[in-house]
Amino acid sequence: MTGFRVSPDGKHMLAIESAGDTRSIVVWKLADLSTKPTVIGARNMQIRSARFLKNDLLEVVLMQPYDLRGDEFVKTFINKLLFTDLEGKNWIEPMAAADIARSADAKIQAALFNPSVLSRMPADPDHIVLESDSRGETRDVFRYNVRTGTATRLMRLGEFDSNVWVNAAGVPWAKARAGTDGSGAFVAIDFRATNGDWEEHFRSYVKNRDVVDVIAPGAKANIAIIRSNVGQEFSSIYEYDIATKKKVSTLFEHKFFDAVGVRSLATDDSAPGADGFDGYTYEGVSGGDVHWENPEIDAVIRGIAQALGLKQTNQKLMAVSGSSQAEVPSFDGVSVRLMQRIPGETPTYLFRVSGLNYPTEHYLLQKQNLRLLAKEYPAIDRAALGTARFTYYPARDGLNIPAYLTVPNEKLCGPGPYSAVVHPHGGPWARDTMDFDGSGWVPLLVTQCRVVLQPQFRGSAGWGRTLWLAGDREWGQKMQDDKDDGARWLISQKLADPHKIAMFGFSYGGYAAFAAAIRPNDLYKCAIAGAGVSDIERISSRLYTNPFFKEAQESTIRGLNPLTQADKIKIPIMVYHGDRDRTVPLIQSDLFADRAKSSGKPVEYHVLKDYAHGPAWTRQTMTQQLTIISDYLKSGCSGGL
């Protein structure tokens, strides 16, 4: 089970239960969890997520395969937003297209139409705020009555409006807008004036990699909560006076990580409670860490960790560039996350516990009684997952590269050095976290006695401006050097056998695996590229159609183009790709695998049925993915790794 949530009134709790490929919503009465719960299923679609829209209504996202038959035939997945009661008897498709049109194109548009919830308006039992179409076409904002299905338009978004925020009363009060001027592409933040007009307050240019985001309305009138990295290494969170257009005070900043957002336990939302915000989220070691303003919450979290036998240690932090260091408390590579606090004479707490070597578990704390609700992966033996920690290693030019290191259990695998896999993340404007890897990739590798390094190479986001910008125009060059330096560091630490190292990645990580097969460094025995970018020129050309993306990313995607040298790969490679991938087109792997076969090195290629850029329709597909990775490393990687 996963996705546990408690209703705003604290009377019900839900979760998503998986039994094979069948996913159901399970709803309990919180006062008596021993009573048989209500089970809500779906026939033709697969339940992806669920949460309480109101005390008696659920917001459910479902998915299904869909074949687009327009000017070209495209295999993809579509998502649908539906509402239902706590018994799953009555289902509503909000803002459903009134006319299922006769033309093929119109039918496609109707199938893809999917509104999104901008605000659940917890204080209003009948209304929410919806954006009519999340695809960016005919986007309007509506106040929607969940009881009658009637909608009132609040505003019509302009062609270049990219986001809109509504306040607790459901009124749009801020929006983001993309545009271009003589200085380049920009993102502007507009606030609504008292006369109803929109007025620009911030303008940041994407080429500078400046970020200005609206996080939430402030606790006081005419105050906005802003996240910004302008003129700073890391994003911070501050109060902004809309009337005077001035920063009021900094609410939160961190010396080693980007600040992200706010937590308000009273509203279970980003809206402030009566006493303001309970905490501030930041990227952190675990990813999505929280600085709690109330020390009592930290005390409860420490109590949970102690009850679970989690050891508190000191985690060393280092600046990516420079000599700044610090130590912070950590639960030995495991995060204990407070998901909800339900008020009452004795508050009820919902917790999620997870780590790279700790399969995710969910707990409920009621009246000092800690109850295990579910384990997401109950059959996995934690002992087989080894040990995991956050660390840094030196790059050849002096940068400190953050990384996650998972080492096999010595009692099960013997002492190192071990076979090793350098496992770069996708993106590349992304990052890894300390949470359990639900894809199964890291658990598969470490339980088969391989050490795994997940480098947060230059170009990764969330670690500050220095590391982020250092990846510009360095695809396959300094970005790749960071991964190679990680492999050499594993060898220096006597963790990796220098003759048994592979690189495996997905998406941008797949690009890195392509690059590893070409670069002449004799580090890797083989490579595995999942849904990788092989032709960066083809990817870059797609960005030219949008001035915003052109300036934000096109100029950063420069460096080694693997496809041009695919016929000269120096190590064996296994390539795989999903046939429903709309993020990285299948042709990226088709072209590379076809050209690489003329290199004289072994090339293995798999196309996975009903697999997108991550989501799969069945567990069989995920099993197939893990099986081909496992089999290749055992025997296809120059005789085995």
Question: What pLDDT, on a 0 to 100 scale, did the predictor assign at position 551?
Answer: 59
Beta carbons within 10 angstroms of residue 106's beta carbon: 13
Alpha-carbon span 327 to 316, nearest angstrom:
5
Structure tokens of 243?
């009337």
Whole-structure pTM over 0.75, yes or no?
Answer: yes
Q: Is the pLDDT of residue 111 over 70?
A: no
Measured CA angle at 54 (ends 50, 55), to 5 deg: 100
Question: What pLDDT, on a 0 to 100 scale, did the predictor assign at position 106?
Answer: 60
- What's the chain's Rg over C-alpha atoms? 25
Band of residue 206 on the pLDDT scale cut at 50, 70, 90: confident
Kindly state the average pLDDT of the residues 589-604.
96
| Burial class of residue 546, CB neighbours in 10 A (0-12, 13-18, 19+) | middle
Nearest to 434 by CA among 483, 388, 394: 388
Q: Is the pLDDT of residue 415 over 80?
A: yes
Element (H, E) at 512: helix 508-518
Band of residue 78 on the pLDDT scale cut at 50, 70, 90: confident
Nearest to 163 by CA among 180, 178, 144: 178
Question: What pLDDT, on a 0 to 100 scale, did the predictor assign at position 632?
Answer: 98
Domain ranges of the chain: 158-282, 385-636
Q: Is the pLDDT of residue 594 over 50?
A: yes
Beta strands in 435-534 (DSSP E): 450-455, 496-506, 526-530
Structure tokens of 381?
């033996």
Q: With beta carbons less than 8 A apart as the criterion, state whether 144 and 128 touch.
A: yes
Which of left, alpha, beta for 78 (phi over 0: left; psi -120 to 50: alpha)? beta
Structure tokens of 345?
């004479």
Per DSSP, 70 falls in state: S
Residues forming beta bridges with residue 318, ordered by sequence position:
325
DSSP per residue, 260-299: EEEEBTTTTBSS-BTTB-SEEEE-TTTSSEEEESSHHHHH
Band of residue 267 on the pLDDT scale cut at 50, 70, 90: low
The backbone torsions φ and ψ at residue 478, rounded to the nearest 5 degrees and listed phi first, read -65, -30
Residues forming beta bridges with residue 505, ordered by sequence position:
529
Question: What pLDDT, on a 0 to 100 scale, did the predictor assign at position 72?
Answer: 67
Q: Is the pLDDT of residue 602 over 70?
A: yes
The distance from CA 382 to its chain's CA centroid, rounded to whole angstroms, is 24
Q: Is the pLDDT of residue 57 over 90?
A: yes
Residues forming beta bridges with residue 464, ordered by sequence position:
none
Sheet holding 236-241, edge to edge: 212-217, 223-228, 236-241, 246-252
Structure tokens of 435?
């949470």
Band of residue 418 on the pLDDT scale cut at 50, 70, 90: very high
State the SS3 of 390-422.
Answer: EEEEECCCCCEEEEEEEECCHHHHCCCCEEEEE
Name the average pLDDT for the chain: 91
Q: With beta carbons less than 8 A apart as the criterion, state whether 554 and 543 touch.
A: yes
Question: What pLDDT, on a 0 to 100 scale, did the predictor assign at position 627?
Answer: 97
Chain segment 334-374, per-residue pLDDT in tens: 999 999 998 878 889 999 999 999 999 999 999 889 999 99
Band of residue 540 on the pLDDT scale cut at 50, 70, 90: low
Alpha-carbon span 503 to 485, nearest angstrom:
13
Q: With beta carbons less than 8 A apart as the criterion, state whether 75 and 67 touch.
A: yes
Q: Is the pLDDT of residue 105 over 80?
A: no
% of the chain with per-residue pLDDT over 90: 75
CATH architecture observed for domain 385-636: 3-Layer(aba) Sandwich (3.40)
